[in-house]
Every structure is written in structure tokens, then in C-alpha cells.
Amino acid sequence: MKSVEDRLRELPEDAGLKAITADDKLRRRILEAAKDKKAEHRLPVRWIAAGAACAAAVAALAFTLPRNVQKAPQAMLTSQSAGEKVMLAKTEEQDEAPLAGARESAVADVPQGMVFISNASAPESRSLWVQGNGANFPLVAVQGKYFRMLASPSEVSHGLLGEELGTVAEYTQEPALSGAETVSNICPEGTVIYALRGASGLAAAEVNGRMRLFQRVSFAGRGLVGSEHLSDTLGGRVSAMELSGVGRLTGSAAEEMWSYLCAGAVYLNASCAETGRNLLVTLDNGLTFQMAVSGDTLSACGAWACPGFAEAFANAL
């Protein structure tokens, strides 16, 4: 920055204002003007003091805040299925009054804090039955037994085919009115119907060039034949069971639950209503059939009551 002396020496010899002379008097005027200019940018002392006080207050607040403000409890949740138990673990906020230990509680009793919920599969409802375009679903009937086509698998392996059950004698859109022993509304005449190895209540027949899976169901008021029971209409070695909205059992648990169902099932009637909730049963050969569920009533080849089934399934999880 230039000094006052330098600025004075740079004044023109003739500034056009004869009344101004570069003497000591002019020098003092320049110095006073410079002093006033600095004063315009200097904060008053009282503002500086106030700013310092505010900074001190902010620093004190930042120092004390973590100690005086309680942290919001965090919740760690996983999906919960019907019938599951909730395990509660103590949080940092509970250190002053710790829980005697983790305890079981219903969901409605869960307090604020850390929550761990056991995770079990609770699948939504899904149906394997193929829907029909008209009043009837796709089916084959042989020896007074009706089988409804399933959507999965899209093709059955020929290695799973068992003995021949019969050959379609009549193709009709009104199978309930047919007098033929072997009839279908999806398979043309001459189509061979096969049993499936390792499974009761399942059949296979060729539809549009692919071997499709069919499941035993009741139809037009016709269900059981002779002295059949549930295990006669559907069954085999079970490897998995899946109940809509509850969960999935596998291995020995699934086998035991199927045994529970077969032992406790009581035949009600020949109806087979679609309820929007299903029990899917997978056999060890990889094939799956289903039963519609309404409370403790299950239906496929007729409706069967099994008191306590839904609760027993949930407990088995």
C-alpha cells in the first residue's frame, strides 16, 4: 500500500485547482480522511462483545447437548408371520431399569426400544389351478374320478408317468352331462390318461403337445368314490407344505403336518370352493398339489374339516 508521502508526490504539479497546494495542511487532511475511512469498517466494541457472548453460548450448548438430550430409540424389524413370537431385548435407554431377561410378548405389547422379530416365510396366496374360459375348469374324468389341470409344471417328465388309467372316449364342453366313463373338456378323444408314480390323486394327460399335470377334485357334486379317505384322494411322500399367510414347512415338519391333517380330517361334503387362500403340498417327486383353505376346513376332492389345523401349522413353524 502506498504511503501518504508517495501519494503527495504523485499529485500533478497543476491539478487545475489553484486553491489546493501540496503542503503540510493538505497532508493532514489526507491523513484524517484515511482515519475516518478505517472507522467506517470497524465494528463497534459493543457488537464485538455481543458476538463473543453468542459464540460462547453456542459452544456451551454444543458441549452439553449430547448429555441432556435423550436419543430416540431405534427399532430393527424383520417380517413377521402369523403365530410368531416377538423377542424383546433391552436398549441403552433401559440401562437404569434393565429387563430381567428377554421375554416373549404379543405384537400389541411391544414397548418402545430395540425389537427383534423371528423371521419366517409368510407367502401370499397363490393358486396352481388353471381357470376355465367358461363355467367349467379344464379337466379329465376317468372311472368316476375328476382331475383338474394345474398351471405348474408346464410339462410333466415322462419318467414320472405310471400306469394308464384310461383313454378319453368323449370330448365335450359339458362333462357333467356326459355318460362316458372317460371324458374331457380339454383333451381330444383318444388321449391317454396316466397315473403318477409316488402320488395318489394326481394324473397326467397330453394337452397341445405337452404332458400336463391334473389333480383330483370334486366336480358337479361328485367327490369320493366308495370308502375313500383324504389320503386316498391326495397324497404321497410330502417334502414341503406352504400355507397362505402363515409360512412354509419342509422336511420332517411337513411330513408330520400332513399326517396330522390326514388323521384328523373329517369329510363334510363334495364341494370345492375357491377361497383365495391355499395349502400347497409338494411331494418328494417334485410335484405340487393344492387345497383351498377356509379356517380349519380344506377342500379339493370334497371339503374336509380338521379342527386345530391352522393353529398346529403356525405352531410348527
Joined together, the cell numbers standing for residue 272 give: 370345492
Joined together, the cell numbers standing for residue 143 give: 372311472
Average pLDDT of the residues in 44-51: 52
Between 274 and 152, name the one with better pLDDT. Answer: 152
What is the pLDDT, as a whole number, of residue 71? 43
Helices (H) and strands (E) counted in the chain, each on its own, are 6, 20
Between 158 and 101, name the one with better pLDDT. Answer: 158
For residues 293 and 262, the answer to whether their CB atoms sit within 8 Å is no
> How far is the C-alpha of 100 from the C-alpha of 209, rounded, in Å?
67
Does the pLDDT at position 79 exceed 70? Answer: no
Domain boundaries, the chain: 22-68, 70-120, 139-316
Nearest to 308 by CA among 300, 317, 297, 299: 297
Instruction: Write the CA distances from 165 to 185, 196, 267, integer angstroms.
Output: 17, 10, 25
Alpha helices in 196-308 (DSSP H): 230-233, 251-264
Q: Indicate the range of 7-11, 228-232, 261-265, 305-309 predicted with least confidence.
A: 7-11
Average pLDDT of the residues in 179-188: 96
Cβ–Cβ contacts within 10 Å for residue 274, how many?
13
> How far is the C-alpha of 266 from the C-alpha of 198, rounded, in Å?
24
Q: How confident is the model at residue 40 (pLDDT cuts 50, 70, 90)?
A: low
Q: Got the DSSP string for 152-169?
A: SSSS--GGGEEEEEEE--
Q: How confident is the model at residue 77 (pLDDT cuts 50, 70, 90)?
A: very low
